[in-house]
Amino acid sequence: MDATFWNDAERHLVRYSGAGSFVPEIIERAEGSFVWTADGRRVLDFTSGQMSAILGHSHPAVVATVQEQVAKLDHLFSGMLSRPVVDLARRLAETLPEPLSKVLLLTTGAESNEAAIRMAKLVTGRHEIVSFGRSWHGMTQAAASATYSSGRKGYGPAAPGNFAIPTPNAYRPDFTTADGDLDWRRQLDFSFELFDAQSVGSLAACIVEPILSSGGVIDLPPGYLAALRDKCHERGGLLILDEAQTGLCRTGDWYAFQRDGVVPDLLTLSKTLGAGLPLAAVITSPEIEQTAHERGFLFFTTHVSDPMVAAVGNTVLDILYADKLDQRAAELGAYLRKGLLELAGRHPVIGDVRGRGLLVGLELVLDRTTKQPADDLGAAVTRRCLELGLHMNVVQLPAMGGVFRIAPALTSTPEELDLGLEILDQAITDTAPRFTAISAGNR
């Protein structure tokens, strides 16, 4: 039976993850922090599905909402409105600072970023977009054109007017102070000097994540967002914050931008909003929405304002509030970080532990002094973790090494985090000696 499954998969499925392959397991069901394979193995999910299932898999309240809503009102003509949609728009606005109060409900992160960029271009009358050199904002046209971490080769011209600026990576700084620390202010000044030299004076927006996830879980330094906003506004552009993975309590705050006290012009949400179901949002000010409307803003899609997933979004907000999951993410995040730092004390291949709340990056290196990348080690540890019952996700980018994106569900228990740490410890113990020996032999 399993051989037939994999033969059918190989014969009929389009491979969509670049050089990567499918996880070599057939997943039969998922519940809470675990998934179960066809052969009955239980695997701890340290990625919340696709970084989305913040309430764990098959949360009873979400299951009940889907069952009730799909039997009552699932999908409508895109111009029609329902109570779940208006309720969710109002409730999202209530979680945010002024003037963020106008909401567009969509399906995916790429779609919400596409809509935000489209709105920014229409409102400003400009076309240039700035994003980070390690960015990931989605695979639709405008979002893909603002994505630089991968997926750019072979598809023809990107949208005109897209510019990449250096990512402020404190672990691998390019601009440094006298003490060797990242000098992000000098880096940012340099970035916009280069932009100004190439720009035709038509900046529409800067789009960034407060913590770059696919870029290696890189937390922007305190003060950076405010300085970036000012650079953007000085040139007539808008600031778009992509909180697909950081929004709705994962970082220990409701939104990652709250730490910096910076209110974006447009905010995009997705993954965490639907807790695993396809739900996304663009949120902006009445002023921007009014201008967009007056200029004929068009983003009329098949599943805009769908009632079923909007009902799920309302349930997600109910649970986040009732269970105080922002506080829980902060507490569990501190617990997880402490455990990872203890692992770093035992394993020299762990070069850095970073992130906020329950979005944590662990970077593997072959040498802590040189920070030699460890892509192959990261892949080997990932495979060994899966064999031992832990699903991990490693980001592999040139000159960065293997970075694990660790994002357990906000409903995880300390015991589940302990289990994950124990398996990770064992996986590194089993695999690292072979790679460090090869590295030493090549010196």
Which residues are known catalytic residues?
136, 209, 242, 245, 271, 405
User: ∠ CA 293-294-299 to the nearest 5 degrees?
Assistant: 30
Distance of CA 240 to the CA centre of its chain: 15
The beta-carbon contacts of 370-377 under 8 Å, at least 24 apart in sequence, are 371/171, 371/172, 371/401, 372/401, 372/439, 373/399, 373/400, 373/401, 373/402, 374/349, 374/401, 374/402, 374/435, 375/401, 375/402, 376/402, 376/435, 377/349, 377/402, 377/431, 377/432, 377/435
Task: Give the number of other Cβ atoms within 10 Å of residue 218's Cβ.
Answer: 24
d(C-alpha 395, C-alpha 217), whole Å: 9
HSE-CB at 384 with a 13 A cutoff on CA atoms is: 17
CA–centroid distance for 286 within its chain:
27
Mode of pairing for the β-strands spanning 350-356 and 359-367: antiparallel
Start-to-end C-alpha separation, the chain: 48
Residue type (1 letter), 120:
A
Give the 3-state secondary structure of residue 337: helix
96, two tokens: 């945010």
List, in order, residues 6 or more apart from 441 with CB less than 8 Å away: none
Instruction: Evaluate whether 374 touches 366 at the Cβ level (below 8 Å).
Output: yes
Task: Return the structure tokens found at 69.
Answer: 């809503």
Secondary structure of residue 59 in the 3-state scheme: coil
Q: Contact, 124 vs 238, CB < 8 A?
A: yes
Contact status, residue 305 vs residue 283, Cβ threshold 8 Å? no
| Of residues 8, 46, 28, 29, the one with CA closest to residue 381 | 46
Nearest Cα residue to 245 out of 53, 16, 30: 53
